[in-house]
Amino acid sequence: MRKQIVAGNWKMNMTFPEGINLIQEIINNSTSLKEAQLIISPPYLLLNEAVSLTEETNIGIAAQNCSDHEKGAFTGEISAKMLSSLEMKYVILGHSERRAYFGETDQLINQKIKQCLTNGLQPIVCCGEIMEERENKEHFNVVAKQIKGMFERITAEEFDSIIIAYEPVWAIGTGKTASPDQAQEMHHFIRETIRNSYGSEIANNLSILYGGSCKPSNAKELFSNADVDGGLIGGASLNAKDFIAIAYSF
């Protein structure tokens, strides 16, 4: 079912005590929130406590990544099965920073998606173009290629668990934001691309989030678009009041 979602990606921020305080602030400020599903994605060291603290709330917990392997001699990696054992629900995959800094490919992300689905986790799968690709009017082709590679051999039944986040990479941490029209145009393109591969029912139920410098001042205008179902929030998710204000923008 298509949901309105606001997911906070903390990235590599927050010590353990800072993270606990932020989680508690978010819980305290979201008690009357009914419009959107809140998801927070702290660093790994906070995941177990995050699950415990939010157990009696409507807040979901997401890991920021997982391994493409089930288990084995992969020092420093964390598997989908391990994350599932924490009784959490979501994993962010294919973030532009993972692509840029760690060389992740669509094929690698595809393997991670399969690991998540096998272990009952919902992937929040990212796609998006860099500035050069947009300026060269290649952005639709880039995103279509990413979608094709990342979801190869993913069945319609499996796709029902997928959430997509569109990241205009040129708008992440730059202070730039895609205009509401640009966001809607790409979100609509993504939905139609999924419709062509998986049919109308899957496409209509798919939640597509916007991830690119979304903040309280622009969230309402972005979320008012027909194909924008919420946001994958970076910097603003590190401030409880800003994060909750975004969630109240629906």
**Would you please indicate which residues are annotated as catalytic (active-site) residues?**
95, 167
pTM: 0.97
Quickly state the pLDDT bin for 173 (edges 50, 70, 90): confident
For 233, the 3-state DSSP assignment is strand
Please report the domains of the chain, with CATH numbers, ordered by start residue.
Answer: 5-247 (3.20.20.70)
Instruction: Give the H or E element holding residue 8.
Output: strand 5-9
pLDDT computed for residue 34 by the predictor: 85
**pLDDT at residue 106 greater than cutoff 80:** yes
For residue range 108-167, list pLDDT tens digits in order.
999 999 999 999 999 999 999 999 999 999 999 999 999 999 999 999 999 999 999 999
Q: What is the mean pLDDT of the chain?
A: 96
- Burial string for 108-125 (b: 16+ CB within 10 Å, else e) reads bbbbbbbbbbebebbbbb
Q: Region 227-248: what's the mean pLDDT?
A: 97
